[in-house]
Amino acid sequence: MQFAARLRDQIRRGEITTTIRIWQSPRVKAGGAYRLAPGHVVVDHIREISIADITPQMARESGFSGTIDLLKTARHGAGTRVFFIRFHYEES
């Protein structure tokens, strides 16, 4: 799972613990660990939501100024399914 460079330090400090992704199918699973040097992000929970379920608060908690800002980053590729992911960062 990749994160924008501007979000990585906040993730490492535990300030960001959620993300919203638009994919064709889930690319992570609960319990999975995904590299974010020097440690990794561990997915605690993933659930599918609709795009209408995305709130400004969810966007801010994911490190974005609002829903539009989040969607500019989350919308890439051919995906149409929206996933809300909770995670935590662990040092290696």
Residues 3-34 have pLDDT tens digits of 999 999 999 999 999 999 999 999 999 999 99
Q: CA of 35: how far to CAs of 1, 39, 46, 72, 79, in Å?
A: 8, 6, 17, 23, 22
Residue 42: CB partners within 8 Å, gap ≥ 6?
A: 31, 32, 33, 34, 87, 88, 89, 90
Q: What percent of the chain has pLDDT over 90?
A: 89
Could you list the residue range(s) of the whole structural domain that residue 68 is in? 5-90
What pTM does this model have? 0.94
- Average pLDDT of the chain, as a whole number: 95
- How many structural domains is the chain composed of? 1
Q: Which of 88, 92, 74, 12 is nearest to 45 (CA)?
A: 88
Return the CATH number at 9. 3.10.400.10
β-bridge partners, 63: none
- What pLDDT is attached to residue 74? 85
